[in-house]
């Protein structure tokens, strides 16, 4: 059985104000191409199909076309809602979609039922678990589940997983191993650790397709994995390759003993997210611009000692999808990297600030700046 694991599509998400509709359409087309070229039996989508509970029309159209393309290619789909999705909206018309081989579940309302696939080695039971919190589980299953780990354990216990057949779980949760959390990207650093679920909850499954975190990685064991996002959704993800997980399930010899292998298939971005650092004249020179596509999403850090005139305008002309502009003078950087010494305790407020200024900018204040500083210090003194 060949499965393809993706997650966190986030249709409708904008990158620093830029629509990524074309970029996402390009990425999802690659998923369909891989399914056709590599004879994929089923695509697992581990949550966050959309970026908001009320996505824009174009996002719904994009996801609709993606699912339709997979169905027309004869590829089964099992998808779960994530914390960004409206589970009720995502699960709309689930029975009708299931008739076409597209299994998109809604909110948890009782014990999870598997999607049963078959090949020469017998059944593969795919268990779709929507994003849940303890209150959701208590309402759906009528059990006492005070913590996220206990809540997911209750969900798994209610499944009655048969370890003699192959079992795959698709879930959207923050999963930790021994209390140690996985790596997070800039676009998801607001995720706290309070909702963490211990990876041992997923012990009954041969493979666990996780969503929620944007960086591809394993949790605890190789067969519990986050696929990561198809696109880079923050400038901090520059340099991180994006991929989908191609999983081959072979024969199951007994509980915990299943032939399994996987491969990370890279996404090729329509426009990459990258960072550029240096003086303005260098970054807008023909030689530098020729090194990478100019329409990439670029976060720029200028190292000129003083911010050049109309730097933003010139950068936007060179990089039409400019994400941000930061100014970090090379002299100031060198000063910050120098040895840090405690200030002279005998310095007054003006002396302390003048020393701080020189440490940050790499040069002393001029007469005009000292005059402004003296005026500010005088005003502070009057307010005491």
In a domain? residue 223: yes
Are 278 and 260 part of one and the same domain?
no
Q: Each residue of 95-116: pLDDT tens digit?
A: 999 999 999 999 999 999 999 9
Q: Is the pLDDT of residue 371 over 90?
A: no
Helix-then-strand count for the chain, H and E: 12, 19
Number of neighbours of residue 293 by Cβ within 10 angstroms: 15
Report the residue count for the chain.
384
Are 279 and 262 part of one and the same domain?
no
In a domain? residue 102: yes
Domain with 92, as residue range(s), is 2-266
Domain end among 244, 266, 288: 266
Total of domains in the chain: 3
Residue identified by tokens 């199951």 is 252
Q: Of the candidates 106, 95, 81, 104, which has an alpha carbon nearest to the alpha carbon of residue 171?
A: 81
Inter-axis angle of helices 330-337 and 349-361, to 10 degrees?
110
Are 309 and 379 part of one and the same domain?
no
Q: What average pLDDT does this structure show over 190-206?
A: 80
In a domain? residue 120: yes
Are 145 and 240 part of one and the same domain?
yes
Are 101 and 220 part of one and the same domain?
yes
Are 100 and 120 part of one and the same domain?
yes
Q: Name the CA radius of gyration of the chain, rounded.
A: 26
Pairing of strands 207-211, 102-104: unpaired
Number of neighbours of residue 96 by Cβ within 10 angstroms: 9
CATH label of the domain that carries residue 60: 3.60.21.10
Are 19 and 163 part of one and the same domain?
yes
Q: Of the candidates 281, 332, 278, which has an alpha carbon nearest to the alpha carbon of residue 301?
A: 278
Q: Each residue of 124-135: pLDDT tens digit?
A: 999 999 999 999
Are 127 and 244 part of one and the same domain?
yes
In a domain? residue 295: yes
Are 27 and 94 part of one and the same domain?
yes
Bridge partner residues of 244 (DSSP): 265
In a domain? residue 334: no
Q: Each residue of 37-57: pLDDT tens digit?
A: 999 999 999 999 999 999 999
pTM over 0.85: no
Are 25 and 134 part of one and the same domain?
yes
Domain end among 248, 266, 284: 266
Domain end among 215, 246, 266: 266
CA 380, CA 384: separation in Å to the nearest integer? Answer: 7
Measure the CA angle with vertex 352, ends 349 and 353; round to 5°: 85
Are 210 and 314 part of one and the same domain?
no
Q: What average pLDDT does this structure show over 300-324?
A: 94
Are 86 and 183 part of one and the same domain?
yes
In a domain? residue 26: yes
């Amino acid at each position: 059985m060949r499965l393809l694991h993706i997650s966190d599509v986030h249709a409708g998400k904008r990158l620093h104000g830029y629509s990524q509709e074309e970029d996402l359409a390009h990425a999802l087309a690659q998923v369909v191409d891989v399914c056709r070229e590599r004879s994929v039996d089923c695509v697992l989508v581990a949550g966050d199909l959309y970026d908001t509970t009320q996505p824009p029309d174009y996002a719904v159209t994009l996801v609709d076309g993606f699912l339709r393309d997979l169905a027309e290619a004869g590829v089964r789909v099992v998808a779960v809602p994530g914390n960004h999705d409206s589970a009720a909206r995502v699960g709309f018309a689930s029975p009708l979609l299931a008739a076409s081989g597209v299994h998109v579940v809604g909110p948890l309302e009782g014990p999870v039922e598997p999607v049963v696939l078959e090949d020469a080695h017998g059944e593969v039971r795919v268990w779709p678990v929507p994003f849940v919190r303890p209150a959701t589980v208590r309402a759906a299953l009528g059990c006492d589940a005070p913590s996220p780990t206990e809540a997911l354990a209750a969900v798994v216990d209610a499944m009655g997983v048969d370890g003699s057949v192959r079992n795959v779980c698709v879930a959207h949760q923050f999963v930790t191993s021994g209390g140690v959390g996985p790596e997070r990207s800039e676009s998801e650093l607001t995720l706290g650790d309070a909702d963490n679920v211990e990876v041992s909850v997923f012990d009954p499954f041969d493979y666990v397709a996780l969503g929620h975190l944007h960086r591809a990685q394993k949790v605890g064991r190789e067969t519990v994995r986050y696929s990561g996002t198809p696109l880079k959704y923050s400038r901090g993800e520059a340099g991180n390759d994006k991929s989908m997980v191609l999983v081959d399930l072979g024969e199951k010899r007994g509980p915990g003993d299943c032939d399994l292998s996987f491969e990370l298939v890279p996404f090729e971005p329509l426009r990459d997210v990258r960072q550029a650092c240096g003086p303005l004249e260098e970054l807008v020179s023909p030689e530098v611009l020729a090194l990478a596509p100019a329409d990439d999403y670029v976060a720029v850090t200028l190292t000129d000692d003083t911010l050049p005139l109309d730097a933003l305008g010139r950068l936007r002309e060179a990089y039409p999808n400019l994400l941000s502009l930061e100014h970090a003078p090379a002299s100031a950087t060198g000063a910050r990297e120098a040895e840090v010494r405690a200030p002279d305790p005998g310095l007054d407020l003006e002396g302390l600030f003048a020393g701080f200024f020189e440490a940050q900018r790499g040069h002393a204040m001029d007469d005009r700046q000292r005059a402004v500083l003296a005026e500010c210090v005088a005003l502070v003194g009057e307010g005491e």
